């Protein structure tokens, strides 16, 4: 079974850029792991407005899992 998921990312006003960058790196690592496991099929970054952050992901669930 596949799922198409849209993510709207909201960074709180006043958030430190270093923390935002750290979290973005951690999210990229988690996405890479999901890809290696075969769960993340594709990830898109659609055209964005200034200060807009979003992504669209196609995920696959193993039909043999409960």
pLDDT in tens, the chain (66 residues): 899 999 998 889 999 999 999 998 999 999 999 999 999 999 998 888 887 889 999 999 876 765
Q: Which domain holds residue 43?
A: 2-60
In a domain, 13, yes or no: yes
In the three-class reduction of DSSP (H, G, I as helix; E, B as strand; rest coil), residue 17 is classed as helix
In a domain, 42, yes or no: yes
Domain count, the chain: 1
pTM of the full predicted structure?
Answer: 0.76
The enclosing H or E element of 41 equals strand 40-44
The enclosing H or E element of 36 equals helix 17-36
In a domain, 20, yes or no: yes
In a domain, 66, yes or no: no
In a domain, 65, yes or no: no
Give whole-number Cα distances, 21 to 4, 18, 26, 31, 40, in Å.
25, 5, 9, 15, 22
Residue 1 and residue 60 in contact, taking contact as beta carbons nearer than 8 Å: yes
Q: Alpha-carbon distance 2 to 38, whole Å?
A: 11
């Amino acid at each position: 079974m596949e799922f198409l998921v849209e993510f709207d990312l909201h960074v709180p006003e006043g958030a430190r850029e270093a923390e935002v960058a750290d979290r973005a790196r951690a999210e990229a690592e988690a996405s890479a792991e999901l890809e290696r496991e075969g769960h993340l099929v594709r990830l898109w970054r659609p055209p964005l407005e200034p200060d807009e952050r979003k992504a669209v992901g196609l995920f696959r669930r193993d039909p043999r899992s409960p």
